[in-house]
Amino acid sequence: MYKNNKNLNIIILVAGRGSRLEEVTKDPKCLLKIQGKTLIDRTLDQISDYEKQINKIIFVTGYKSEKIKTHISKHKLFSYCDFIFNKDYELGSIFSLNLTRNHINDHNIIMDGDVFCESSIISLIFNSLNENTILIDPKSSNTGEEILVGASTKKIISIKRGLTGEFKNFGESIGFMRLNRKSMMKFFEVIEEDILLNSKTIGYEDLLDKLVKFIDIGFISIKEKKWIEIDFPKDYEDAKKLIIN
């Protein structure tokens, strides 16, 4: 459906400082090296399999922005890359995502830059026939940290931290989402309203529950596929032991 169209933009959010990992590194999380390769190099290598679809890769940077850009400049996909600097990176990812409103395309994939996963997970979001979809892990915990998804057979009903209730499908968002142009513009409206209200919300994920009230968003279960979001030192240690392709 999307092959060779060059109408896909990839937004990768790497602005955060990752203060909970300070005992491990003073660098941005995306520059953490796991199994001999940085997180960001691994992500770029994985999405390079879909180069024929890609128009632009937009990095939203903040903390140690130039170090990230210098590192990415050595990658074979650098010619596709644009960089947006978020001076308010400590305020959270809604401000990062809001800066991309003039950089969207007919199809858009939003990726958190601190996710370590197997390549088959990447293929799910790139090959999705649903223009609006989120990847979820059905093997979810509920510590209050996770973004949890409750869905019917085909679409998401609610998505928020600490979500409970009876749903036909339930899981944790892993930080990869696909939205078409119309849905992205609606998301920017939701974000702008939240910012104007001086909300305490800091993560774009915290606004997805509002978005699904306006548009239908589907989901894809990653089932038994392996992934880790690197937030804490233990996540980093677990990722180093994870055997993935």
- Ranges of residues in the chain with a pLDDT under 70 are 1-4, 199-201, 245
pLDDT of residue 140: 78
Confidence (pLDDT) at 5: 73
Pairing assessment for the beta strands 147-151 and 107-112 based on DSSP bridges: unpaired
Q: What per-residue confidence (pLDDT) applies to 44?
A: 99
Q: What pLDDT is stored for residue 133 in this prediction? A: 98
- Residue that is written with structure tokens 């088959």 in the block: 120
Domain coordinates of the chain in residue numbers?
Answer: 8-241
Q: State residue 204's pLDDT score.
A: 94
Gap between the Cα atoms of 160 and 172, Å rounded: 9
H helices of the chain, in order, are 39-47, 65-72, 93-98, 119-126, 181-196, 208-211, 233-241
Per-residue burial over 43-53, b = 16 or more CB atoms within 10 Å of its CB, e = otherwise: bbebbeebeeb
pLDDT digits (tens, 9 = 90+) for 69-95: 999 999 999 999 999 999 999 988 999
Per-residue confidence (pLDDT) for residue 10, from 0 to 100: 99
Question: Cα(145)–Cα(141) distance, rounded to whole angstroms?
Answer: 9
The CATH class for the domain spanning 8-241 reads alpha beta
What does residue 128 show for φ and ψ, rounded to 5 degrees?
-60, 135
Contact between 14 and 88 (Cβ < 8 Å):
no
